[in-house]
Amino acid sequence: MFRRIGNVVVRHPVWTIVAWLIAAVAIVATAPSLPSSSDESSFLPKSYESIKAADLQAKAFPSAFTPSAIALYRRTDGGRLTAADKQDVVRITEELGDKHIDQVQKVVPGRPSQDGRYTMTLVQMDSKNAGQPKQADAAKVLRDDVKQLVRGTDLEVRLGGSAAQALDQQDSSKRGEALIGIGTFVIILVTLLIIFRAPILAVLPLFLIGLVSAIANGLIAYATELFDLQANSSISSILIVVLFGVGTDYFLFLMFRYRERLRTGDEPKQAMVNAVGRVGEAIASAAGAVIIAFFALVLSTLGFLKQMGPALAIAVTVTLLAALTLIPAVVSLIGPKVFWPSKSWQREPENARFAALGRGVERRPALTAAVSGLVLVALSLGTLGFNATFDLAAGSMPKTKESMVVQDEMQKAYSAGAAAPTDVYLSSTDGKPLDKGAFDAYAGKLGAVDGVANARMTQVNKAGTTADFTVTLKYEASTDKALDAVGKVRDVAHADAPDGTKALVGGMSSIYKDIDAAVTHDYRTVFPVAALLIMVILGLLLRSVVAPWYLIASVGLGFGATLGATVWIFQEAQGKSGLMFMLPVIMYLFVVAIGTDYNILMIARLREEAREGREPREAAGMALRHAGPTVAAAGFILAATFATMMLAGNALLTEMGFAVSFGIAVAAFVMAMFFTPSLTALIGHAAWWPGHADRAEPAAVSGAGHAGAVPVSGDSRDTVGQDSAGRRG
């Protein structure tokens, strides 16, 4: 099949390129803009208690005041607020309300801090657009206006709250995307120049993958709108890295094999056909493993991950199609001039280092497997200390952003939980009015819960059937202590609800508690499903039942080693309380799925060497010699491109960038080069049971005479390659 694809593309390269250009123009011109949400509650399904509580609040208290923005004031000299300062705040609050800013529904004064050094203005916005760009725009206007109004006073003001966080997150994301994009371009360009010493070859993938990126982003926007999926600004940064990193991987897989075919004497066009025919299956299988693993995210209960899965799967699918059609078409048009001015492509390098590594694996496969396996196991021990954090806003931007400064100052000036109080909604189950005489006792029981600063009944709906008890925790909403405390509040709220009533607990800590439960569900669902589907891909590629088991076990060890190293560096060494909650899921999919690419490439090459009549150990050594440079180059570029995410300056992308780049490096330089080939050499022919995929097949030796092949001159045999001595390899 892949040889037929190569034949069609090489015969009609211009039409292939034109088709891609038409598709790009049509999709980019008509695609909707990609929406973005930073509202954590929108990531959860309706079945969770915190979401039920939010729905109940909207029905029972439609006019309830929930601030979306908080203007926090203090004196410029840091002293206690004077009567004149307080009058200035009242004036500013009134003038802000009179401006009738879009999305702003109500502006009211807040209460001063206990030490008298801070006070607030609270701004309520339309709850239907929580976390959406409209409210970020409103926050920008508010921030500019309130700072203008404070001029001429002794006060300074900062704007915080969820809307301001959405604005700062948006700005941080744009800056991060720019840095990641520049870093990715530079790394790919410089690395390809070093590898091939050919400027055309270094620039070509950037242009081609840029085209692919435009198409993929358009298709993702269509899918997001069509299926009403949630989006987050961090996805754009991840997409840049996935498209250029994975795209460059597949470009390298193809170009290394194309260069190898030219060295054996293939006519240029036939060399590309043979390259696609040989490496196309490995690329398709590698991409298939990634696509299936990403699609497994639709099983997630979190809207953010549900959207990320299809988005990344679409991106990799478009990249795969480009690797099998667009790249071969463009390169076949240019021909060997793509390697200009270098002439090294004309002779096979000795690959002395990889040949030496291959001989080491061939001679001591047991020792190689044991040492590389022990390294992975040792690093995996760090997973025992993993702890999750849930404040997505704080994780998505630097602590120096204005909204983050406000959050930190409010925790110091007020009760740590005051910025995001917990609400217990007590509702009658029979539709009759609640017994108000039971309110004080119920509030007392809620206030007595360990970790609660105070609890009080704040409002009852008009029908008298639902009461709102505001519970202020002693801890900031996203901390482990707050999650433990809200769990205890739930227990007491449910158990001690008066007869004929039902309690629901809402608020940010309750949302984080449910996100924790959702992530735990995802670990138990997404992980095994993704692993099973990747094993099916491996089984189909290798025609084996045995090999997929130890291959998936090896990438599982790679995941454990990656998470362990990340825990040690970010939690232990840097003293952080934990890692972002979705990191293990994302890491698992990137490391297991994309890391499998290198295992697939190596094991596919090992099979080719075995089919040349070599015994398992020799085949493993030769596979490392010939495929090692490709794996090393692709692994380095992909790891380096993911590492550019650390330039974004926020916790989420910094942790993700390190973790995935480290995992890719482990997959390429430990698993694919040592662990997998040495295990395959040890297991021998049994690795391919029940088939005989590693046995020599005389029919596989020839390929040039395939029906429909492009006419060639010279030696067009579809061999694996020849070394300088003429021996086939």
Q: 22: Cβ–Cβ under 8 A, 6 or more apart, which residues?
A: none
| Residue 334 pLDDT class (50, 70, 90 cuts) | very high
Specify the pLDDT at position 411.
77
User: Which pLDDT score, from 0 to 100, does residue 233 have?
Assistant: 53
Q: In this predicted model, what pLDDT tens digit does every residue of 675-727 receive, in sequence order? A: 999 999 999 888 888 866 666 655 444 443 333 333 333 333 333 333 333 33
Residue 387 has pLDDT above 70, yes or no: yes
CA–CA gap between residue 363 and residue 195 (Å, rounded): 29
CA atoms within 13 A on the CB side of 46: 2
Contact in structure between 4 and 12 (CB atoms under 8 Å): no
CA distance 675 to 6: 33
Residue type, 139: A
596, two tokens:
């499998």
Q: What is the pLDDT at residue 553?
A: 87
Give the β-pairing of 579-580 and 466-473.
unpaired
Tokens, residue 131: 């976390």
Look up residue 33 and give its DSSP letter.
Answer: P
What pLDDT does 35 receive? 55
- Computed from CA positions of residues 519, 523, 525, 529, in that sequence, does the dihedral angle turn out positive or negative? positive
What are the Cα distances from residue 203, in Å, to 186, 237, 320, 564, 667? 10, 21, 19, 37, 26
Quote the pLDDT of residue 719.
Answer: 36
Predicted local distance difference test score (pLDDT) of residue 501? 93
> Is residue 380 pLDDT above 70, yes or no?
yes
Nearest to residue 390, comparing CAs of 478, 318, 456, 451?
A: 478
- Any idea what the Cα angle at residue 110 is, between residues 459 and 38, rounded to 5°? 85
CA count, 13 A, side-chain hemisphere, 559 = 21
Query: Comparing 195-209, 344-358, 472-486, 690-704, which segment has the lowest mean pLDDT?
Result: 690-704
Provide the b/e sequence for 357-386 (b: ≥16 CB within 10 Å): bbebbbeebeebbeebbebbeebbebbeee
* 538-551 pLDDT, tens digit each: 888 788 889 889 88
Q: Is the pLDDT of residue 155 over 90?
A: yes
How does pLDDT run across 90-132, given as a tens digit for each residue?
Answer: 999 999 999 989 888 889 998 898 889 999 999 988 776 666 6
Beta partners for residue 423, in sequence order: 470, 506
CA distances from 219 to 287, 290, 296, 317, 323 (A): 18, 18, 19, 11, 18
Q: Which two tokens stand for residue 96?
A: 């802000």
Q: How far apart are CA 486 and CA 692, in angstroms?
A: 58
Residue of 483 and 303 predicted with greater confidence = 483
Positive or negative: CA dihedral 677, 683, 687, 693: positive
pLDDT at 396 over 70: no
Structure tokens at 492: 């007491």
Q: How many CB atoms lie within 10 A of CB 337?
A: 13
- Supply φ then ψ for residue 424, to 5 degrees: -110, 120
Please answer whether residues 250 and 283 qualify as being in contact, where contact means their C-beta atoms are separated by less than 8 angstroms: yes
Buried b (16+ CB within 10 A) or exposed e, 454-479: bbebeebbeeebbbbbbbbbbbbbbb
Q: In terms of Cα–Cα distance, which of 288, 355, 380 is closest to 666? A: 380
- Percent of the chain scored above 90 by pLDDT? 35
- Per-residue pLDDT tens digits for 400-450: 788 888 888 887 887 666 667 899 999 999 888 999 999 999 999 999 999
| Backbone dihedral angles phi then psi of residue 67, each to the nearest 5 degrees | -65, 130
d(CA 377, CA 386): 16
- Cβ neighbours of residue 13 closer than 8 Å, sequence gap 6 or more: 328, 329, 330, 332, 333
pLDDT (tens digit per residue) in 11-29? 999 999 999 999 999 998 8
| pLDDT tens-digit series, residues 506-558 | 988 999 899 888 888 888 888 888 888 888 888 887 888 898 898 888 888 88
Q: What is the pLDDT of residue 133?
A: 75
φ, ψ at 111 (rounded to 5°): -85, 150
**pLDDT at position 714:** 34
- Select the more confidently predicted residue: 35 or 385: 385
In this predicted structure, what is the pLDDT of residue 712?
37
**What would the mean pLDDT of 324-340 be, rounded to a whole number?**
92
pLDDT band at 278 (very low <50, low <70, confident <90, very high): confident
| Confidence at residue 709, expressed as pLDDT on a 0 to 100 scale | 38
CA 61 from centre of chain: 37
The band of 288, judged by pLDDT with boundaries at 50, 70 and 90, is: confident
Per-residue pLDDT, 524? 86
pLDDT score for 711: 39
Order across the sheet with 155-160: list the strands.
Answer: 104-109, 118-125, 67-75, 155-160
Token pair 């190596």 in the structure block, residue: 602
The confidence score (pLDDT) of residue 675 equals 92
pLDDT of residue 24: 92
Average pLDDT of every residue of the chain: 84
Contact in structure between 243 and 320 (CB atoms under 8 Å): no
Most confident of 180-194, 306-320, 323-337, 471-485: 323-337
pLDDT of residue 697: 58
492 vs 385: CA distance, rounded Å:
30
Contact status, residue 308 vs residue 297, Cβ threshold 8 Å:
yes
CA distance between the termini of the chain: 23
